[in-house]
Amino acid sequence: MKAFVFPGQGAQFTGMGKDLYENNPLAKELFDKANDILGFNITNIMFEGTDEELRQTKVTQPAVFLHSVISALCMGEDFKPEIVGGHSLGEFSALVASGCLSFEDGLKLVYKRAMAMQKACDAEPSTMAAIIGLDDATITNICAEVSTEGNIVIPANFNCPGQVVISGNIDAVNTACAKLKEAGARRALPLKVGGAFHSPLMMPAQEELAAAIEATTFMEPKCPVYQNVDAKGHTNPDEIKANLLKQLTSSVRWTEEVQNMIADGATDFTECGPGKVLQGTIGKINKEVTAHGIE
């Protein structure tokens, strides 16, 4: 069974999508449409911009979404997903690719999400860190020990065995990193991000996004969409909407999501979008399946 997966923020690079734009009429049409919808030439930043320009959340999220979705749609007859899933932002790409959201609505929601998350980041200084070489349970327990009501840290991304990202207030993340290294983590690496994604600190962004999601038409997807919040496949539009909203303040259960896709029959994973991050995680989660980019 073929699964198509879509990366999240952090996979971006200068030049992403340029070949598609120059060589595929459908890609050019969709990129030009995106410029009109967003009200600025995101293609200029994607194709020629600096790393710093691409790292702005309001640019990064729609840029990765556009590259991912357009890459998939330009596969033509080769794009026949039986299962789809995405990591964080990539879940929006998966929803468009599965027919649950229109291209236009998906892009508008992603841009709204990016702006709301940026505002939440600006309102409260916060951060994330990657924990390497420690089991999920130990990380979860130490985060729970460190967290207090006004100084929180939680596991934000369960990416693959031995790689978890934590998220929260700066002091709490720093304290957790020290304790996690004492507990045996090989590394605790601060990430260059502007805020605590996938934590309760994103609640203002979730509230802002709620109205936009509610006002958007979600259709029944043509195949199950596996979602980060519960790691399960969904086809009911109301369930999909509810899970998509919860995602902003909840952990990304990617390891479990990939395991569930495999348990449900996925044997071949194609990553659509920039980079190879998801291919790497899938290889660490299960060595029996194949994972590759678009041929």
The catalytic residues are 88, 198
Distance CA 132, CA 241 (A): 32
Concatenated DSSP letters of 58-127: HHHHHHHHHHHHHHHHTTGGG---SEEEESTTHHHHHHHHTTSS-HHHHHHHHHHHHHHHHHHHHHS-EE
Pairing of strands 268-271, 153-160: unpaired
Residue 195 tokens read as 């805020």
> Contact, 16 vs 286, CB < 8 A?
no
163-169 and 126-132: which strand pairing? antiparallel
DSSP state of 151: B
b (16+ CB within 10 A) / e for 191-224: eebbbbbbbebbebbbebbeebbeebebeebebb
Measured on CA atoms in the order 75, 91, 9, 109, is the torsion positive or negative? positive
Q: Which residues pair with 130 in a beta bridge?
A: 165, 189
| Whole-angstrom distance, CA of residue 4 vs CA of residue 293 | 10
